[in-house]
Structure 1
């Protein structure tokens, strides 16, 4: 009889950061690298995304690096360039990682529609796939999925709610 090997769950730290739009959940690995950022009122969704990306996950209360919290607080206080200083790492499929990496290249204060991002990835027919990958982004704000809008310029879907998306865009100088 062959016993199935048991795998220990992936272990991450969980911290909270008060922001003007709610309590942010910060999930970091043993090296202090951001693995997820979501909102306290969407914790269940965040845990499900972590499970999908990493399998079994154990979250333990552990402070995120002070430099990460300072950078995020700086962003929310108006120093929009601070997001670029946050170290992050994602799992996901190669396509998802490609989309998430591309999100980080959308400049602060600008938006892009899903079709334009698909074209930027040299996959103009992958608009729906880009949208799906965007919706599975585990690192809100830092990988700025809020900067993606509908083809007609409308605000569409945001895992943390459209009011947060509107706030983030206005905070970055985008009139919505």
Structure 2
């Protein structure tokens, strides 16, 4: 088993855990994010303060949040996903900053038009928030739906990228 090295990045939207394997960046999760790594899975992972890939990921995230970067250039290790999940995550990488797609559009793009729910589940299990831009996937009609890191973060990321999407009235901009 490949050793996993981790580092904390303090983003404007809260702390994030960055994880790297020998193959590349393998995880970027907001603190408390749904579908993040379990405590059991994280046993044996090593927290480091200096690691070239994790430092590069931190620097690119910093540039992204400053509005100076709209496409990440990092080696990625997507091997934790099933082949279907990996195909969905690869498709997400093709959505440019400032653009969005619906879950249905993504399912059709993958030639799986009847697999909208499966595509949605794969999007929700994306292990690399922001880097693999699952936040650019919207519900039908452009509605802000589903984000493992919280809808308020999804809205903030889309606004940062120039897509002013409003939260449904039942949600709050602030975490509970």
Q: Report the TM-score when normalising by structure 2.
A: 0.84
Count, aligned residues: 161
Cα distance in structure 2, aligned partners of 1:112 and 1:10: 34
SS at match of 1:156: coil
CA displacement at 1:10 relative to structure 2: 4.3
- The corresponding residue for 2:145 is 156
Equivalent residue for 1:37? 28
2-structure distance, mates of 1:111, 1:120: 13
Report the counterpart of residue 109 of structure 1 in structure 2: 98
Contact 2:60 / 2:69 at 8 angstroms: preserved in 1?
Answer: no
Unaligned 5+ segments in structure 2 are 166-176
Task: Tell me the residue number matched to 2:86.
Answer: 97
Structure 2 residue aligned with 1:11 = 3
The 5 A counterparts of 1:6-155 are 10-30=2-22, 33-42=24-33, 45-48=35-38, 51=41, 58-62=44-48, 63-65=50-52, 66-81=55-70, 83-91=71-79, 92-155=81-144
Superposition TM-score, scaled by structure 1 size = 0.84
Return the alpha-carbon distance in structure 2 between the equivalents of residues 132 and 49 of structure 1. Answer: 22
Question: Cα gap change, 1:130/1:17 in structure 2, threshold over 3 Å: closer, same or farther?
Answer: same
- What is the deviation of 1:20? 0.9
Over 6 Å off, 4+ runs: none
Does the CA-based 8 Å contact 1:14-1:25 persist in structure 2?
A: yes
Quickly say closer, same or farther: Cα 1:157–1:20, change in 2 above 3 A: same
